[in-house]
Amino acid sequence: MAYKISGEENKEIALSYLEVREKQYDTKAYVDFYTEPNSTIATIQGVMVYVASPDPRINPNYLGPASLEEMAKQIIQAEGPSGPNRDYLFQLDEALKQHGCEDSHVIDLANAVRKLLPETKPSS
């Protein structure tokens, strides 16, 4: 999923927010965006993305290869400049569903986190 931000002021506001939220452990990159899995022609060129660094010197919170339960445990304990990571995960899960872009890994991870939190229950 990609978002186009129109208007210079809106771009500045969005980029300012993203720089705070993402810059702590991520690297900004520009990539081509494809809407079809087997397409060889990019739908949009130069889409800005943030990529988490696996380098522990840059990103001490990078878990590396891990089970769903290990990831869920880390998410429950983690908090960044924008708040608890579990809130971000739950909001991502909901936003993807609202856009018709359900991601089985995000759904499974959100449900694993919910199972470990006493006040929440897994959703479908």
Please name every residue paired with 30 in a beta bridge, in sequence order, or none if there are none.
Answer: 48
Query: Catalytic: 22?
Result: yes
Neighbouring C-beta atoms of residue 80, cutoff 10 Å: 14
Residue 29's alpha-carbon distances to 25, 42, 51, in angstroms, are 13, 16, 7
Distance CA 44, CA 113 (A): 34
Indicate which residue of 8, 12, 19, 22 is catalytic. 22
Question: Coil, strand or helix: which one is 61?
Answer: coil
Query: Shortest CA distance to 26 belongs to which of 1, 55, 51?
Result: 51
**Which residues are catalytically annotated?**
22
